[in-house]
A = this chain, B = another copy of it.
């Protein structure tokens, strides 16, 4: 091994399953982006929608529900008048920080590469 092509750990099968598990929970078009958006701090529904470019209300609503079910997001209702609803990341969402970091890093480098090629 010299060029970094060999990506796998000794047993590839375990890695395959582990990656499968990850994608099952945080895969898809929006989940990670919503989480990143909330990484800035608590947000209200429409704020999130404005931050995550292109997401519709319907989809955001269902994504937030799934994220809540999976323990990444907490929904906080401030019972003032008018009622204010905030979403915030849970501690568990913090376990994704390394994933997000590497993914963002790679995306940046990849974009640069594409730029250079054109």
- Residues of A at under 8 Å CB distance from B? 3-9, 12, 14-23, 25, 27-29, 32-33, 35-41, 51-53, 88-91, 93-111
Contact = CB atoms under 8 A, between A and B. Distances in A.
A55 B115 CA distance: 32
A20 B33 contact: yes
Contact of A109 (B17, B40, B88, B95): B95
A57 B28 CA distance: 22
Contact of A36 (B7, B35, B110): B7
A19 B89 contact: no
Given A8-B39, A23-B33, A102-B102, 8 more contacts: A6-B39, A12-B39, A14-B104, A16-B53, A18-B105, A20-B107, A21-B108, A99-B102
B8 A108 contact: no
Contact of A107 (B9, B21, B52, B101): B21
Contact of A106 (B5, B27, B98, B110): B98
Contacts of A25: 110
Which one of A35, A38, A89, A110 has the highest number of Cβ atoms from chain B below 10 Å of its Cβ? A110
